[in-house]
Amino acid sequence: MAQATGREQRKKTQRAQLRAPNLSAFYDRRISSIEPGEFDFRIVLVRPAQPRESRYLTLTRNTTEVDWSDAEGSTLSGSLTVRRSGVKRINSVPVVRGDRVRLLVHWGGRWRRLWDLRIPDVPPVDLKTGSLSVTLEDDLTPLSLTEREWEFKKDKRHPDGWTMDEIIRYVCKKCGVRPGRISEGRRKIKKLKLKASGLEVIRKAVALEKEKTAQKFVIRFRDTRLDVLPYRRPGTLYTIKGIEKGGSTQATGKPRPVTQIVAKGRIRSGEKTRKVEETIRSVSAIKRFGKIEKEKDYGRVDSRADLREQAKRDLAEAIKLERTATLTLPGIPFLEKGSAVRWVTTEPGWSGKVGDTARDRSFAFVTGANHILLPSSYETEITIAQDDPYFEDRKRRDEERRDKKKKERGGRKPKEDAE
């Protein structure tokens, strides 16, 4: 049997590496530009308990402020301040607990629904001015408060068990939630029994699916319907160039990072195992921080090239800076958590020619967005980060698959983060 040479093995390993995407090529198709300030908004009060002819009431003229926030680790929320047409004219703003507020934006020749948020509490009223301050929340909040006993097991309709989408649709039916786009599950869940809220059950079903497929999902409401979709890169890129009204930048990293790793491992060939050692260093980091060395045992590896690749990843992670920025812009209503942006600026660390680096450093991703809409102005404040969460997710899934294969072949010690 022919044996692969070292060069052939190296080429094979390089082909198997997960490459960072070329975002310039991914976002090369232009769409209509967005001019801040060209939007028209409509604020509608939706009253489910009223007859259809009086169910919808426009509050645009009565609104003095509306804001909404889509932040990391939380659901969509906001607030609304409206004023009655007259202090005693209660029917001009008949807001009660349980009603909804709908925000529509006019752009590109048509009206688009941005969100529907619920009014969970009785709004306080200023009797002197007739002003009401209303708190708004996403429908994921009431879904998280519906607690009961849940049991999913094999039966006549589910002889092999329940899939993720079947569980989610069943929970939506029991909780009175309208299902939207829900990804089809691949894992058969033979038994699931717990006392929890509807949202916890949905998250548990998604977590079990993730164990099977290593795929992350996004749970959120769109147009009053629950969507559970794969975590994927957005198709639209927003370019920010010279429109920012202010903000700040920050770069965090280890103050004295490792600049050289002595990587040790073991290669098994037939019945024999031999030890291998490779030294991986960053010349530029040594010039800046000095030589800071760490020994690390990677256990069993496939080859020297595999050992070098793992050590290179750990060294790159150790010396990496995480850059974030907070920008205040003229209002852009479509910016939300997960949006892709390109910040064209001369600020250090936020530029880079395509091809000189793995990717242009001006590309970033929104981790939080806060919108403030007033009768005379509209601004959006976003927090952006250079780390590509979509590539990090693919890399994590790729590493999980590699670790699973290694475990099936006999396993090796788990990796430790470089310090």
- 247 and 342 share one domain: yes
Mean pLDDT of 254-262: 86
Residue predicted with more confidence, 284 or 248 = 248
Q: Is residue 31 part of a domain?
A: no
The strand pair at 260-269 and 293-300 is best described as: parallel
Q: What percent of the chain has pLDDT over 90?
A: 35
pLDDT digits (tens, 9 = 90+) for 17-46: 566 777 777 776 666 677 766 789 999 999
Mean pLDDT of 301-325: 86
Structural domain ending residue among the three candidates 136, 153, 169: 136
- 74 and 197 share one domain: no
- 244 and 262 share one domain: no
pLDDT at 19: 67
- 126 and 69 share one domain: yes
**How many residues make up the chain in this entry?**
419
pLDDT digits (tens, 9 = 90+) for 174-200: 988 899 999 999 889 999 999 999 999
How many domains is the chain built from?
A: 4
CATH number of domain containing 339:
2.40.30.150
**What CA–CA distances, in Å, run from 288 to 98, 259, 292, 317, 368?**
59, 9, 11, 16, 33
- 107 and 224 share one domain: no
Instruction: Report the distance separating Cα 39 and Cα 332, nearest Å.
Output: 8
pLDDT digits (tens, 9 = 90+) for 201-246: 999 999 999 888 878 888 888 878 899 988 888 888 888 888 889 9
Q: pTM (2 decimals)?
A: 0.77
Instruction: Report the distance separating Cα 330 and Cα 244, nearest Å.
Output: 7
Q: Count CB-CB contacts under 10 A for residue 298.
A: 22
Instruction: Report the distance separating Cα 332 and Cα 334, nearest Å.
Output: 6
Comparing 216-230, 278-292, 353-367, which segment has the lowest mean pLDDT? 353-367
pLDDT digits (tens, 9 = 90+) for 134-162: 999 988 888 888 889 999 999 889 999 99
Instruction: Report the distance separating Cα 387 and Cα 338, nearest Å.
Output: 11
The b-or-e profile of 366-382 (16+ CB within 10 A means b, else e) is bbbbbbbbeeeebbbbb
- 316 and 340 share one domain: no
CB 57 within 8 A of CB 94: yes
**What domain range includes position 218?**
143-230
pLDDT at 417: 41
pLDDT reading at 416 higher than 50: no
- 151 and 84 share one domain: no
pLDDT digits (tens, 9 = 90+) for 261-283: 999 998 887 778 888 999 999 88
